[in-house]
Structure 1
Amino acid sequence: MLPPELPPLPALTRAEGALVDGYLEVADLLGRINPARGSDTYAGLRAAQALVGKAAALRDALALMHERGESRLYATTLERALRVLDGERRTDRVTLPPASAP
């Protein structure tokens, strides 16, 4: 049985697509660095090293949007794109896990 088909990705400019991709890549790395969810220092170290480059790419996507006159973020459209790309699960790892019972 095939999994249900995902909704289509909304139409984005190339820079908006780079913004969404960069944001999720940074969130993935922050999730791997999160000390409340991590398991070893080496994985966190590698993610932190990669974070520098991904953050620069995210900055570049925003700078490109600004240079092109794309001064507004269309949150509703970008939110839909993040949801289609599994953004809820990917950003959940950045937060603290639920408190365990005492």
Structure 2
Amino acid sequence: MLPPELPPLPALTRAEGDLVDRYLDVLDLVGRINPARSSDTYGGLRAAQALVGKAAALRDALALMHERGESSIHAATLARALRVLDGDRRATRVTLPPEGRS
């Protein structure tokens, strides 16, 4: 049986797509670094080392949008894209776990 089909991504410019992708990359790494949710220092160290490059790529995506005159962030549209790409689950790794579940 096939998994349920995901809703389609909203229409994004290439720069907006890069912004969403780079943001999720950073979010995933910060989630791996989160000391309240990790189990070893080595994984956190590796994620922290990779974060430098991913943060630079995120900065570059935003700079490109700005250079192209895309000065507005369409938050509702980008939030839909993040949800389709599992951003809700990925963002929970950045937060503290509920009390008593550590």
SS at match of 2:91: helix
CA distance, structure 2, for counterparts of residue 12 and residue 92 of structure 1: 24
Deviations 1:33-72 (CA, angstroms, capped at 9, x unpaired): 0000000000000000000000000000000000000000
> Which AA in structure 2 matches 1:39?
S
What is the rounded CA distance, in whole Å, between the counterparts of 1:59 and 1:99 in structure 2? 34
Q: What is the alpha-carbon distance in structure 1 between the residues aligned to residue 75 and residue 11 of structure 2?
A: 13
- Given the alignment of the two structures, is residue 7 of structure 1 paired with residue 7 of structure 2, yes or no? yes
Aligned partner of 1:89: which letter?
Answer: R
Amino acid corresponding to residue 43 of structure 2 in structure 1: A
Alpha-carbon distance between aligned partners in 2 of 1:2 and 1:89, rounded to the nearest angstrom: 21
In structure 1, list runs of 5 or more residues that go unmatched.
none
- The 1-side partners of 2:64 and 2:45 are apart by 29
Identity %: 82
2:36 is aligned to: 36
| 3-state SS in 2 of match to 1:19 | helix
In the alignment, the residues of structure 1 paired with residue 92 and residue 48 of structure 2 have an alpha-carbon distance, to the nearest angstrom, of: 18
**TM-score, L = length of structure 1:** 0.97
Distance (Å, rounded) in 1 between the aligned partners of 2:65 and 2:16: 7
Find the counterpart in structure 1 of residue 94 from structure 2: 94
Runs of 4+ in 1 over 4 A off after TM superposition: none
Is there any run of 5+ residues in structure 2 with no aligned partner, and where?
Answer: none
Query: Which residue is 1:56 aligned to?
Result: 56
Aligned length: 101
Question: Normalised by the size of structure 2, how large is the TM-score?
Answer: 0.97
